[in-house]
Amino acid sequence: MTWDDILFHLKAIAAGLETIHEKKLIHRDLHIGNILYCWTGSTITDLGLCGPIDKSNHDKSNIYGVLPYIAPEILNGQDYTSSSDIYSFGMIAYEIISGSPPFPDISHDEILAIKICQGLRPKFKIKVPQLLIDLIKKCLDANPLIRPTATELLESLKQWYLDKRYNNVTEFYKQVHEAEEFLRSNTPLNTSLSYKTSSPTIYTSIDYLNLPVPKNADDYYSQNNLSSMNYSGQINIMVILTYYKYIVADN
């Protein structure tokens, strides 16, 4: 998938999220498996848990979702907000850009939930424009008030897409060009996004108790990547309620 393709899909997802939020709704279950890809753009699907912004999360002991995409404040028992969807968008952006799910080969268990609340975020293993990294970092900030709105996301992504497509020599264009040159020099450019998780991703009801108060890693904004933290800890097996598998491909 080229950078033109990546930006095209990200802005389409941001536009869909803006529409949902403009209607005073929250998706509440946004993850890569709920994104439909086609040549005309990307569409957000599966609105089964979608609800009004002012709807309280009454059953805070049971949260449904794909753990890496659930905002840390939700894991901590707070109500869903539009900012919770923005966190999920940040993880989707990571997966589209990197071609890998967040935290692959790690059990979606209480230990991972604790690490996420303590500031664990996935790392890019490829060169990514710093402006885009900075935007995604804001989406994944532990403080919901720091996260951009869907409209702000769309404005940035739309402008960057136009800069790349029409060769507008802006700072973002220069950073994309550097990323492309780095990929050409170091690894074969992957022109498609196609993968499976090595084991089924778990979609489950989460009822973890007494998780730590969400925070960023101490060096969160001093790093030029999403995270400097490494996952460590015992990997526990959790009860699997429902599996889903997916393959994402650029058509």
Which residues are the active-site residues?
Answer: 29
12, 33, 44, 81, 195 from 36: Cα distances, Å: 11, 8, 6, 23, 15
Structure tokens at 124: 């890019």
76, 165, 197, 205, 247 from 240: Cα distances, Å: 21, 44, 16, 9, 20
Of the candidates 203, 251, 248, the one whose C-alpha atom is nearest the C-alpha of residue 35 is 248
35, 68, 86 from 65: Cα distances, Å: 14, 9, 15
Cβ atoms 248, 193 nearer than 8 A: yes
Structure tokens at 172: 């973002």
